[in-house]
Amino acid sequence: MTADPPGAGPGGRSEGRFGGRVALVTGAGSGIGAACAARLAAEGARVGVLDLRAAPARATAAAVRARGGAAMALTCDVSDEKQVEESVAALVAAFGRVDVLHSNAACLDRDVYGRDRDLTAMDAAVWDRTMEVNLRGAMLLVKHVVPVMRDGGAIVLTSSVSGLTGDVDHAAYGTSKAALVGFTRYVATMYGARGIRCNAVAPALVMTAAAERALIPEQLADKAAERLLPWPCAPEDVADLVGFLASAESRCITGQTIALDGGTLVHRPEHAIHRSRT
């Protein structure tokens, strides 16, 4: 674990939904996590930008500071308990508290996610690493953040539509995301009396820069055929929902998983049926 100092920027805006609050966002070096860190900071939060990769974490934190916010970069493997503990301690040392946790980190490495295909041919190490990052990582973050939350708090986990249904590949990823749905309910139940809420967001395809680079036109057409709406989700759409669930506007919502999927799961999946038969 490494932590960069918050820098010489201001100590965070006092106005906005998160004025005076401190947020920790994991997987924040790019994509959904970077958008959520930027949104929370824009609305007043001081943000811990945590990522496995040091350079992207620093870039996101620098972008927050350039817009007048306060952020510090943290480099951490969320599956390593010592690194998680040290990262949370570093954030508290810098900003004094943690009020919001957005656990968004997931294992999408080509050597892991890219080999998460046919179960009968899967290397068990692919399954294990997926669970270590996606599920164990979320558990460790909750374990070490809840004790330092004061006056309640909000936890938002990133699940996936893959955790709400089945598919013809990515069983390890989907199972880890399904487990997060159950974990959300347990965290909400365990800590609700302390005023700590826990919810999950379950996006379908989000058009991050990485997704745009990775998906070929045929794959984009497949995803479009599964949606009801004519547009895909963007990282900012997820940030809108995370910001709502982390704010006092959702103070009576806890233990819920909200799909952000353009209507993918509300109709009969004819396209998925066709894929499974070809």
- Which CATH number do you get for residue 258? 3.40.50.720
pLDDT in tens, 112-136: 988 999 999 999 999 999 999 999 9
- Cα–Cα distance measured from residue 1 to residue 93, given in angstroms and rounded to the nearest whole number: 15
Residue percentage of the chain with pLDDT more than 70: 94
| Predicted confidence band of residue 252 (pLDDT cuts 50, 70, 90) | very high
Weakest-pLDDT range from 24-33, 208-217, 268-277: 268-277
- Starting at the edge strand found earlier in the chain, the sheet holding 2-3 runs 2-3, 70-75, 46-51, 22-26, 100-103, 153-158, 196-203, 257-260
- Any long-range contacts for 117-122 (C-beta under 8 Å, 24+ apart)? 117/169, 117/170, 118/169, 119/171, 122/171, 122/172
pLDDT in tens, 172-191: 999 999 999 999 999 999 99
Domain count of the fold of the chain: 1
Q: Which distant-in-sequence residues (6+ apart) come within 8 Å of 218 by Cβ?
A: none
Mean pLDDT estimate for the chain: 92
pTM: predicted TM-score of the whole model, two decimal places: 0.92
List, by residue number, the catalytic residues: 173
- Amino acid at position 82, single letter: K
Res 224: pLDDT: 86
Average confidence (pLDDT) over 211-240:
87
Are the beta carbons of 149 and 99 closer than 8 angstroms?
A: yes
pLDDT in tens, 30-77: 999 999 999 999 999 999 999 999 999 999 999 999 999 999 999 999
Are the beta carbons of 222 and 165 closer than 8 angstroms?
A: no
Res 7: pLDDT: 58
Domain enclosing residue 192, as ranges: 2-276
Res 49: pLDDT: 98
- Cα–Cα distance measured from residue 140 to residue 277, given in angstroms and rounded to the nearest whole number: 40
